Structure 1
């Protein structure tokens, strides 16, 4: 019985953890929209990358912050294209595998 409880607890923590990351990701995307007044037509990938790295520093710490930086560094072009294509925050975070 204790193994079942342990597995259930680990599963619950995984859901809470992933939900928290998803929520933070969506907040970061909204902050980018606000910062750029939802107009990404003149924004470059390096500009967005720099802004998102600052957001990683504000939203996360430790391993989460490192993971955030890796996603931003690797996917800044894709993030910019998603904003330009009109994807919503959840779609962008889902594409980045954070939701």
Structure 2
């Protein structure tokens, strides 16, 4: 799931970076991307195992997608953002039925 989520978010961020502000309909929700990019990564506090896993996932994503302005380091930061800003969604009996990154 982490790889798929990283692909989808990275594609949106890449479009955001490459956007030339010609299409107002495309631009109106980009404030969410700006907010996502401002979230803390806590990268230095991540375990070495997590960072190795993030590096592998980032390599796989870079191998499959061509980005103009997104680097491997950026992808690792996005994964760090997911890791420390994802929260479970519970029902009234505290069973987990979803997960989300909240900005």
Sort the TM-score into its range (normalised by shorter chain): 0.3 to 0.5
Q: What TM-score do the two structures reach when normalised by structure 2?
A: 0.32
* Structure with a larger share of its residues in strand: 2
* Structure with a larger share of its residues in helix: 1
